[in-house]
Structure 1
């Protein structure tokens, strides 16, 4: 039986948002320009989490501190969106203990990518939309202006439409459905868990960083064996940054060639080189909201209809 997915209310000037580091530690100085943009340019009130100025080994705090920081923002009805300053590693360690009972009374957007994929999937599986997009540390990154504006539009409920150049590996066609996805490593990690996203009928997007080519191959095989690649409405292949290879012998295929191989038996449209991932031009992709995808000979179009209404998933 299909369930309804809820899109939280869009932001308006004067709203309050929370900013925190739910995974790896952050140098507070690296947050300042992003915090300024939120306060001065976007006219939002900002609640800063304790994890912006704490650390525990590689993490921004103990599992319990990071959980409490996020829990307090989930529970606070005045906070209309929660934005991560960075990813790294750590969300999976503490998300089992989160309580969404208060959140359900005052839903809010969650924004992030990379390690935040785990939390974005968690939100989706319990019935709430979120946004895969730039994190606060990266708001002022050079060449990230288009991505930052796309996030502002997504949060404030303005229409999002992307028109992109064609890629030689693209597979032509059209698709329509809720957009889901994120970091390939995290999606493979969540397979078989209660936070595994059912990708049938969805437009899936994937990206990753600093992975070995054989590891990308293994993760694609994992999704394929789990049936997650079989019935997609479309696939957006994002940026695979700083990919590594064995010194000798080499793997023999590049990242896009690996993905092409493991999707070769399916018929849905595929767009390669989509601007999402660990790059400055990391466009906002609302997760769970419906979009149309057209992969044409000369261009690719992804159009959202950002209307806060129930969506079946």
Structure 2
């Protein structure tokens, strides 16, 4: 299918959209020959959202029902998609199932990916979004992979030939299954809801950004205790950008009776020390998930260049993959590309 025959709709189900960055991103998509239709809702503002829950849900459903649109691209992430899911349930009950499309986005879009895949039978692509400044600075290989997937081209491993590494030893055999997941925070937030990720028989992918290590550990513990990942076949880790270990400063010397109140209220820098050694983030994250893998008795692979950065390779979700014993992750089958033959 030629680009000029493909019409893409853009909506903003989450945070308010930065208009200059957004305009630049839309121009980049149009330069590739795609017809892009931007919903007026993208300019709305309510608190930190791009409009009220009702406005955002209505806009998304309106474009979902439009038979002329083949794909919907998330404007930007942030937070807010989870607030729309029950609204979409009601709209679907009132108006019926939307025609199948491709949804592109990531981060907070994880909630919407799961929803449209499971409720509407849509195809989903973990992909950078036009409302982010980094969208216009994507590497050529990343951009071409996004375009290739959008056009329905057969691409087996756009993340390159470098194999993933296993945290606690390679599996005894290749792992084959559907790949699901996305942003760790969003996946965890869906636990206990009707919209939770079903991990049974699946390879589960995680990435995140700007999270403290103890929060990542807490989310992983919640996934474990809730049995949300019961029956999963493997875990694959993408990028965890700017995740850190905040170490509190404490008094390094005992105050005297004379200066006790001053040191407690306003200690000088040279009177404070770190409570403990700061953890190396990447290593600590791998060890957090290693514990999860051991509890679930499944392999944990890391090093997939997908997420908030520095690499932003696109990743089809809901597609069939093979995670080889050698660490190679290969896309075997994706209905979106099969349907584009």
TM-score normalised by length of structure 1 = 0.86
Maintained 8 Å contact 1:141/1:280: no
For 1:149 and 1:201, the matched residues in 2 are separated by 31
Matched, 1:89 2:79: yes
Matched, 1:303 2:331: yes
For 2:11 and 2:98, the matched residues in 1 are separated by 21
Maintained 8 Å contact 1:269/1:295: no
Residues 41-63 of structure 1, C-alpha deviations (whole Å, 9 max, x = no match): 1x211111123322122111122
The residue that corresponds to 1:57 in the other structure is 47
Maintained 8 Å contact 1:26/1:52: yes
Q: Which ranges in structure 1 are unaligned for 5 or more consecutive residues?
A: 1-9
Maintained 8 Å contact 2:54/2:87: no
Report which of the two structures shows the higher radius of gyration computed on alpha carbons. Answer: 2
Matched, 1:281 2:311: yes
The residue that corresponds to 1:14 in the other structure is 5
The residue that corresponds to 1:112 in the other structure is 105
Instruction: Name the structure, 1 or 2, with higher relative contact order (CA <8 Å, separation 6+).
Output: 1
Maintained 8 Å contact 1:143/1:280: no
Matched, 1:154 2:149: yes
The residue that corresponds to 1:137 in the other structure is 131
More helix by share: 2
Maintained 8 Å contact 1:39/1:45: yes
TM-score normalised by length of structure 2 = 0.79
The residue that corresponds to 1:232 in the other structure is 232
For 2:96 and 2:152, the matched residues in 1 are separated by 20
Maintained 8 Å contact 1:133/1:282: yes
Compare 151-160 and 116-125 and name the one that shifted more: 151-160
The residue that corresponds to 2:37 in the other structure is 47
Maintained 8 Å contact 1:144/1:280: no
For 1:125 and 1:111, the matched residues in 2 are separated by 15
Residues paired across the two proteins, number: 298
Change (3 A) 1:67 1:292: same
Deviation of the 1:218 alpha carbon? 1.1
Q: CA RMSD in A?
A: 2.5
